[in-house]
């Protein structure tokens, strides 16, 4: 644009100058004047073009400088971000996925197939049930426990579906031996035996959630599972001022979905690494044979499931505690 203005100005000046010369000096000087005018115009155009090129060059240079500066700033920001990236090289998104909050798990995406738990009979060289170790590795991420850590510790647990007159004596033995235990109770038991529940709490034992109505969790909806768990949870909290944190699924039946939902409700699921047929009060094992079985099942991190409805466990409990201690085992409260 600047060059065009210079060109126009030059032409006008040349024409005016030439006209004046023609009037004063005659036609003979016209050619010379036109030549001079044209020379002036060319000089103006050349000067204008030179200025245009200079300005364009300056603009391009400034543009390059700004772009270079912006890129430099961008690289600087990227370098700063890389300093705060995980040392492992994983992105923050990947790291977040590794540490997913239980509440973010989509329950509908998990396997709902019912599994019935039993520790099986295959043992490793430390007398630990192989299935307990396998399931612990598979489902431990849901705060599910099929066996404890590899240390000489025993965890005693009792299932209390109903009272048959033995729980008070069992509590006496535990108090005498200074051994803690977890008592898994149902709503029916709690309402019928509030004094025993209060004694469990007062004497330092843990009260665990065994559901409201003792239903098979994998066979009902997630809404029903939550009701079964939280109905009892709120009742215990409101009537005993005690917050339960341990859950045992009725009949030992569970699914991956059940374990994940239980975790979302703030519970650890506690299965077991040893149990025997002791739940039928009319078909109790001989005391001597039963004691041999429970003594022979000792292993590191053992979670014992015992039922309090028969006479046998009531009779052998003290002897079992003594024997386990003689073998170097310690009884701890599962938490």
Q: Residue 278 class from Cβ within 10 Å (0-12 exposed, 13-18 middle, 19+ buried)?
A: buried
Marked catalytic residue, from 33, 40, 159, 299 = 159
Token pair, residue 251, equals: 């009949």
Residues 6+ apart with CB under 8 A from 322: 177
Q: Is 237 considered catalytic here?
A: no
Q: d(Cα 278, Cα 299) in Å, to the nearest integer?
A: 20
**Sequence-ordered alpha helix ranges (H) in the chain:** 2-25, 30-83, 92-98, 130-139, 167-177, 187-192, 194-202, 222-240, 256-264, 287-296, 311-326
CB atoms within 10 A of CB 174: 22
Residues 6+ apart with CB under 8 A from 30: 18, 21, 22
The torsion angles phi and psi of 325, rounded to 5 degrees, stand at -65, -35
What SS3 state is found at 206? Answer: strand
Marked catalytic residue, from 73, 205, 307, 322 = 307
Q: How are beta strands 302-307 and 268-270 bridged, if at all?
A: unpaired
Q: Tell me if 329 sits within 8 A of 152, measured CB to CB.
A: yes
Q: Is 210 considered catalytic here?
A: no
Which residues are annotated as catalytic? 159, 307
């Amino acid at each position: 644009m600047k060059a065009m203005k210079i060109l126009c100005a030059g032409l006008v000046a040349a024409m005016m100058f030439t006209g004046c010369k023609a009037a004063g000096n005659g036609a003979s000087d016209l050619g010379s004047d036109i030549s001079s005018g044209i020379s002036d115009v060319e000089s103006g155009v050349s000067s204008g073009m030179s200025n245009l090129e200079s300005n364009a060059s300056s603009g391009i240079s400034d543009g390059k400088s700004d772009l270079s500066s912006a890129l430099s700033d961008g690289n600087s920001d990227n370098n700063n971000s890389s300093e705060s990236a995980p040392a492992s090289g994983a992105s923050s998104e990947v790291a977040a996925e590794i540490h997913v909050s239980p509440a973010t798990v989509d329950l509908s995406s998990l396997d709902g197939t019912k599994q019935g738990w039993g520790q099986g009979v295959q043992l490793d060289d430390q007398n630990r049930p192989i299935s307990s170790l396998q399931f612990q590795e598979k489902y431990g991420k849901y705060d599910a426990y099929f066996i404890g850590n590899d240390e000489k510790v025993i965890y005693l647990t009792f299932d209390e579906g109903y009272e048959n007159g033995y729980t008070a004596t069992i509590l006496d033995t535990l108090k005498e031996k200074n051994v803690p235990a977890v008592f898994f109770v149902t709503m029916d038991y709690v309402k019928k035996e509030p004094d025993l529940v209060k004694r469990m709490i007062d004497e330092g034992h843990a009260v665990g959630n065994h559901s409201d109505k003792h239903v098979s969790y994998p066979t009902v909806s997630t809404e029903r599972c939550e009701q079964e768990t939280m109905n009892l949870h709120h009742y215990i909290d409101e009537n005993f001022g005690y917050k339960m944190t341990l859950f045992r699924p009725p009949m030992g039946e569970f699914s991956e979905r059940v374990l994940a939902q239980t975790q979302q409700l703030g519970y650890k699921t506690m299965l077991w690494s040893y149990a025997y047929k002791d739940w039928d009060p009319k078909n109790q094992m001989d005391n001597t044979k039963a004691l041999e079985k429970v003594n022979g099942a000792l292993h590191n991190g053992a979670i014992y499931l015992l039922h309090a409805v028969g006479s046998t466990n009531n009779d052998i409990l003290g002897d079992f505690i003594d024997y386990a201690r003689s073998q170097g085992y310690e009884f701890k409260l599962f938490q």
